[in-house]
Structure 1
């Protein structure tokens, strides 16, 4: 029975066959599962086996998955997305010396696909858009990927007030409010995960997906530019504990297929 409707405010779309497949594989290392495990998991979300098989075939055709002897694995851009998710879960340890990273798309005749790929790469690298095609952030993380016709610089910038610039780039109050909401949901559902009740897998998936999506783009700004009570500092270790228990539940579930 799907119980996701009991959770309000997650802003997670209803799980389709594709989103169940992605959520499962993105959380695994290596990201590989046999077809029967994916079908059985999708059934917990009221997705029929035929629908799951069709979605798997389409994802292979689109280059999102590969299949070998009945086992499906992430491929292409989805492997990069998994890397971004993993990085989002780890708090940056780089010291900030006041430098900034700036990325500028310099090409005049880029295709829509190229513009979309640039935007996704910047978001995945936790840069923020100052103006169309100009993205930046404090240089306390690694440089973003540099596609063709993109200029990336790293160094000092002349700015009247760095904190004011950060406020223009990120809605810090809204980000912190979302983090607090997720902390509340993780705490409230933690005991349910320990019960290992497979009927609650859809709810746990929804909470986990919401947290991972948030951490993937949470800016990880230097402490000098954040409030002292920035709640994402608490969210990461809390989710690590939650994820370990959820991972054990999933592995037990898959082992029984």
Structure 2
């Protein structure tokens, strides 16, 4: 397998869409702890993606207006739901440490009279907690991870599950073949992009940024199945380790870039 860094066409072939100004800003802040960066650094980063400074500044203003960011003394920070998203994202980068005892978590939306916003919030909460939808308003997963927060009119229980075929149930809940193929593609992309980091190629930072962002999105929703339920080959586990190593060096490259823009 080639070890040449990913180029624009290679990234596009992975199905990774070009990042908008908003996506660049969010990805940068979601990967920063604490999630605060100078506006000039975010604008400079957007320029690497061919985004004009005026477009980036307009996007920052809109995100503040929409409650996604707060600004203070020229710095921008994540706000509202995006802080929870960062916690979910961070959780995806850490494998569960709880040994699975066979229990399952089940969440049921008890009320049929919910607004579209409430339904959307419920779905986002379930996906963020890595539950999968068995049927409308019934979500579940193995109890080897923390359960979801309980909104009003939602029933949540945890315990043993009587099931005819647990492997069939897992296959109904998650598209395991698709997830495995996606994990393999992302793992290969991270491996290829390592050389760009090792050689400090700033011009290839957008490709590193996009591949890393795609890996983060995948790990945020990857089901983190206990080994007893995961397929024999489950590249998501190796991807998590590969991303951790890649991100350590990539964050260093980003810090150097941001330091030069201040």
Q: TM-score range by the shorter chain?
A: over 0.9
- Matching of residues 60-209 of structure 1 within 5 Å: 60-209=64-213
Deviation at 1:13, TM superposition (A): 2.2
Which residue of 2 is the match for residue 255 of structure 1?
Answer: 259
SS of residue in 2 equivalent to 1:30: coil
SS at match of 1:256: helix
- The SS at the match of 2:152 is coil
Residues 114-158 of structure 1: CA distance to partner in whole angstroms, max 9, x if unpaired?
101110111110000000000000111111011111111111121
CA–CA distance in structure 2, aligned partners of residues 39 and 194 of structure 1: 25
Which residue matches 1:223?
227
What CA distance in whole angstroms lies between the structure 1 residues aligned with 2:224 and 2:35? 26
Contact 1:4/1:206, CA 8 A, preserved across alignment = no
Can you give the 5+ residue segments of structure 1 that lack an aligned partner in the other structure?
none
* Aligned partner of residue 24 in structure 1, secondary structure: helix
What is the match of residue 212 of structure 1?
A: 216
| SS of equivalent residue, structure 1 residue 98 | coil
- The match for 2:238 is 234
Mapped pair 1:11 → 2:9: no
Q: CA deviation at 1:197?
A: 1.5
Secondary structure, in 3 states, of the residue corresponding to 2:13?
A: coil
**What SS does the corresponding residue of 1:140 show, helix, strand or coil?**
coil
How far apart in 2 are the matches of 1:47 and 1:91? Answer: 36
**TM-score normalised per structure 1:** 0.97
Report the CA distance between 1:233 and its aligned residue.
1.5
1:231: Cα distance to partner? 1.1
Structure-1 separation of matches of 2:118 and 2:12: 36
- CA shift for structure 1 position 9: 3.4
RMSD: 1.2
Where in structure 2 are there 5+ consecutive unaligned residues?
1-6
* 1:43-62 equivalent positions in 2, closer than 5 A: 43-62=47-66
Give the count of matched residue pairs: 256
Equivalent pair of 1:102/1:134 in contact (CA under 8 Å): yes
Alpha-carbon offset, residue 161 of structure 1 = 1.1
Cα deviation, residue 188, structure 1: 0.9
CA distance in 2, matches of 1:122, 1:82: 15
